[in-house]
Chains A and B, each alone.
Chain A
Amino acid sequence: MKIDFSLNGKKVSIDTLPEKRLIDVIREDFGLMTTKNACYSGECGSCTVQLEGRIVPACQIPIFTVRAKRIVTIEGFMGTEKYLDIINAFNDIKCIPCPFCFTGKILAVDSLIDNHRTPDTSDIMALLSDHSCSCTSVSKFIEGVRMAYHNREFRGELLK
């Protein structure tokens, strides 16, 4: 089945089985390996990508459903200032989540701090609960998210 969609800002086309999951398409067919796949059940958060600007678990999306849609993976997000807001914050406080879970968490943090209000602790805990990896300190992670929010706020992103 031929499917056209936008991947990280570029129009792409793929001829594959319609039930192939988006996570496998972006990793195997487009070689974008930074997004990970762990559970195939949409629960662990490691395969998070943006679909039409909203975060979704790529393992729960068969490729036939993304026809004419916009997909952004962590590779596409890395070039943005929004990404720097987050990565600089975690860098500053020396919070080092494992690379396996961090890519999903970065996109989830972006979605959280885009909500135009300071994320409260319960929001951040819910995010951690949705991304079940116990690799890092919870308090450091909370601090990292708050700092990422302030970075974005400082950049004036929220005022636009």
Chain B
Amino acid sequence: MLDTHKNKRFICDYYSPGMIIIKIIRAEVPGGIISGISMPELPADVGIIGFEDIPAEKDLHVFSRSMPLLCDGNIKYEGEPVLLLYGKDEKELDILASEIRIDYETDYTLASMETYTEEQVDRELKYSRGKPDRNFAKAHKIIEETYSTSSQHHYDLEPQGAAAMINEAGGVDITSATQWPFNVRDNVSECLGIPKKKVNIDVPAMGKTHSGKLWYAGLLACYAAIVTWKTNEPSFCLIPKTDSILYTPGRAASIIRHKTGIDENGKILCRSIDISIDSGACPMLSEEVINRICFSAAGVYMTPALEITARSIRTNNPPSGAFNGMGFHQSFFAGECHANSLAAAAGLGPLEWRKMNTARKHINLPIGWESRKPIQLDKLLDTVAEMSDYKRKHAAYSLSAKMQNDFSGKKRGIGISVCCQGNGFMGKVEENEKYTVSARLDTDGSLSLFTSAVPENFQTASLWRDIAGGILEINPDDVRIETVNTSLVPDSGPSLFSRNITIITQLIEKCCNAIKKSRFRLPLPIEVKRSYRLPRTNGWDPESFSGNPFPIVSWGAAVVETETDPITLETSIRGVWLAADCGKIMNIELAKAEIESEIFRSVISSTMKPPAVKYARLGIPLTPVQPQNPFAVRIEFLSSRENKPGGIGELPDSLIPAALSEALSMGLNIKLADLPSTSESLFRQLEHISNTQETELED
């Protein structure tokens, strides 16, 4: 019986009356210095905590980065937590919170990403290969374009939060909706100044996260821990939905400038790419994001000469985070849109041009890898083109786009894109980490899996049970994934969906195979442990841009067909076709369901405006809608030459935006360069073209 909703406790289910409730008092300006705080008279059962009241370490740490747990006096972004107000009566706290007034001395703000100053550059990476200058000099054509993507926010239903209570060891037990329990444990132990062994992190059920609970959960866990430590009572901190959307780390906005030289046949000779990403006020994962964005900037095309400059910029926006793909989304949007311009400049169709330029071997990728495995990009493109009838539709829509006038029926278009998905982190950030999974086959024949990896969705958990059940020939229902608690399970590292599928699934397989070998030789229970450490040889070196960046890479190609209403400029999707080569597929139905749900989500985020603080304050809900019209989705997996499972969930976010943008551009006979493509942005683009044409006529 599939009663998955029964007995599943999410973080919001951990509150019970009598617990201390924590309210976060946030900054209301994007930058400035706090000159004073006026407080109402606080009753005896209400307390307040500021930066100076944090018992020990005052910063939250993620890999080598840190940010203050509470504002240290300098406001860095609108919504930055300044104070924690706590008490048992929520209504009373709401009234008191509304009476707290924070005064700001200046309204000093950093420049935006578009006009940044050198002081705002958090990190800059430069990469060069071949002789770009010489190749540009001999290029037949040089095409220069700029693309931008806006920030994206987490709309996941389940709220973010944490609960804390004093444990028997004199430490704290924390319940935290986190994808990275051991990071939460380390941060809580540091902020309280107590040994790690006195802190237990328990992870409740969680919905889909898109990496929104990777490190931010640590902040809320520290708040609950600090209040419980101070009061000796259980506490609970849950942030409202609007705060969750506006202030938790979303996807970094980007501006990417491409300059590419091609020869007479349309082959790439050289590329120069300049990338800026908005890492927000506190760049916590920007090192990884900047590495990945740099790595994927030139796409999957053979590029004899290449230079890339990528920088992350501090601004007064909330900290940006990992989100799905951590940089691949921005890179592939710009790179694949630019590929269409290169195809047009070469007088070739987008499919034809891509097939001519895609790499066949890893070594021929823009940033060469040491892997010797072949790549099937040609085959992926052919497959997806055939599935969607791309060639015929492309020819037909190109022709009709040129012939139609303004109000003559719906504008159809079709776009194609190709990408890769790196699974797991790129290396340096976690090179010293070792991740472990253990499994125990009990006397009753049931299997327990111990891992701190948090399944990003219920499909992943189901997949692990199926794999373990299959290897040991037991019913998957008899496979138990033990509750994630740092005192009971080994450290399996941060849980990204792709990482769960690749590294954790492999470790589970290894554990189960080891048990299988000894199950009839040794008495039950049998417990085995397997660990993963990033390979020391052939691993990715971000300094020299060499080695193999990921343990396994997935590849994908997609076609999106759109129809735009010429009046309202609203877009409906006629179909999405996606072909993937992502290693061993464990469960084809689950894999397709996962990709399909991500396709729908990607379509929404590619066509919807990011939320505005202004509207949240007016009380207008920010929840996005699902597309009202369903569309055909077809997914195929190529038989892979890789026998390990690869991630799939990030492919749609790298493929759909560019293909969708190309389809819209074709239908309306314009060139779109910004994401998202809202009706209004389409209108502005059309208006701009119309104004330019009028000016030209006048001249």
Chain B count of residues within 8 A CB distance of the other chain? 51
B3 to A87, Cβ gap below 8 A?
Answer: yes
Q: Which of A44, A96, A137 contacts B458 (CB 8 A)?
A: A96
B630 to A139, Cβ gap below 8 A?
Answer: yes
B462 to A134, Cβ gap below 8 A?
Answer: no
Within 8 A of A (CB), among B142-170: 155-159
User: Least Cβ distance of A118 to chain B in Å?
Assistant: 16
Most A CB within 10 A of own CB, among B2, B10, B12, B241: B2
Q: Which of A46, A90, A100, A138 contacts B626 (CB 8 A)?
A: A138
A121 partner residues in chain B, CB cutoff 8 A = 630
Identify the stretch in B29-37, B192-200, B440-448, B617-625 within 8 Å (CB) of chain A at 4 or more residues.
B617-625
Q: Tell whether B593 is near chain A: CB-to-CB under 8 Å.
A: yes
B628 partner residues in chain A, CB cutoff 8 A = 122, 125-126, 129
Chain A count of residues within 8 A CB distance of the other chain? 47
User: Least Cβ distance of B7 to chain A in Å?
Assistant: 9
Q: Tell whether A38 is near chain B: CB-to-CB under 8 Å.
A: yes
Q: 0/1 per residue, B458-491, Cβ < 8 Å to A?
A: 1100100000000000000000000000000000
Q: A39-B623, A96-B2 are in contact. Are A136 and B157 (CB under 8 A)?
A: no
Q: A34-B5, A125-B628, A137-B592 are in contact. Are A98 and B458 (CB under 8 A)?
A: yes
Q: Which of B4, B12, B621, B625 contacts A41 (CB 8 A)?
A: B621
Within 8 A of B (CB), among A119-134: 121-122, 125-126, 128-129, 132-134
User: In the bound complex, what is the Cα–Cα distance between A103 and B589 (angstroms)?
Assistant: 23
Most B CB within 10 A of own CB, among A98, A125, A136: A98
B621 partner residues in chain A, CB cutoff 8 A = 39, 41-43
B207 to A100, Cβ gap below 8 A?
Answer: yes
User: In the bound complex, what is the Cα–Cα distance between A38 and B208 (angstroms)?
Assistant: 14
A136 to B597, Cβ gap below 8 A?
Answer: yes
A132 to B623, Cβ gap below 8 A?
Answer: yes
A101 to B157, Cβ gap below 8 A?
Answer: yes
With CB as the reference atom, state the residue of chain A lying closest to B17.
Answer: A28
User: Least Cβ distance of A160 to chain B in Å?
Assistant: 26
A96 to B459, Cβ gap below 8 A?
Answer: yes
Q: 0/1 per residue, A37-52, Cβ < 8 Å to B?
A: 1111111101000000
User: In the bound complex, what is the Cα–Cα distance between A43 and B241 (angstroms)?
Assistant: 11
Within 8 A of B (CB), among A66-97: 74, 78, 87, 90-91, 94-97
A74 partner residues in chain B, CB cutoff 8 A = 5
A99 to B205, Cβ gap below 8 A?
Answer: yes
B5 to A44, Cβ gap below 8 A?
Answer: no
Q: Tell whether A149 is near chain B: CB-to-CB under 8 Å.
A: no
B600 to A135, Cβ gap below 8 A?
Answer: no
Within 8 A of A (CB), among B210-261: 240-241
User: In the bound complex, what is the Cα–Cα distance between A130 and B598 (angstroms)?
Assistant: 18
Q: Tell whether B633 is near chain A: CB-to-CB under 8 Å.
A: yes
B633 to A39, Cβ gap below 8 A?
Answer: no
User: In the bound complex, what is the Cα–Cα distance between A135 and B157 (angstroms)?
Assistant: 10
A132 to B625, Cβ gap below 8 A?
Answer: yes
User: In the bound complex, what is the Cα–Cα distance between A116 and B692 (angstroms)?
Assistant: 56
B629 to A96, Cβ gap below 8 A?
Answer: no
Q: Tell whether B95 is near chain A: CB-to-CB under 8 Å.
A: no
Q: A38-B241, A96-B2 are in contact. Are A125 and B626 (CB under 8 A)?
A: yes
A95 partner residues in chain B, CB cutoff 8 A = 593
Q: A34-B6, A98-B458, A100-B207 are in contact. Are A137 and B623 (CB under 8 A)?
A: no
**26 A-B residue contacts at CB 8 Å?**
A38-B159, A38-B241, A39-B157, A39-B621, A46-B157, A90-B2, A91-B1, A94-B590, A96-B459, A98-B207, A98-B457, A99-B207, A100-B157, A100-B205, A125-B626, A125-B628, A129-B625, A132-B624, A133-B157, A134-B597, A134-B600, A135-B207, A135-B597, A137-B596, A138-B597, A138-B626
Contacts A41-B621, A133-B157, A137-B592 known; 12 new A-B pairs at CB < 8 A:
A28-B16, A28-B17, A36-B158, A38-B158, A39-B241, A42-B621, A44-B157, A96-B458, A102-B4, A132-B155, A133-B208, A142-B630
> Which residues in A have some Cβ–Cβ distance to B below 8 Å?
17, 27-28, 33-34, 36-44, 46, 74, 78, 87, 90-91, 94-103, 106, 121-122, 125-126, 128-129, 132-140, 142
> What 7 A-B pairs come out closest when comparing CB atoms?
A137-B593, A99-B5, A91-B2, A41-B621, A99-B8, A137-B596, A98-B207
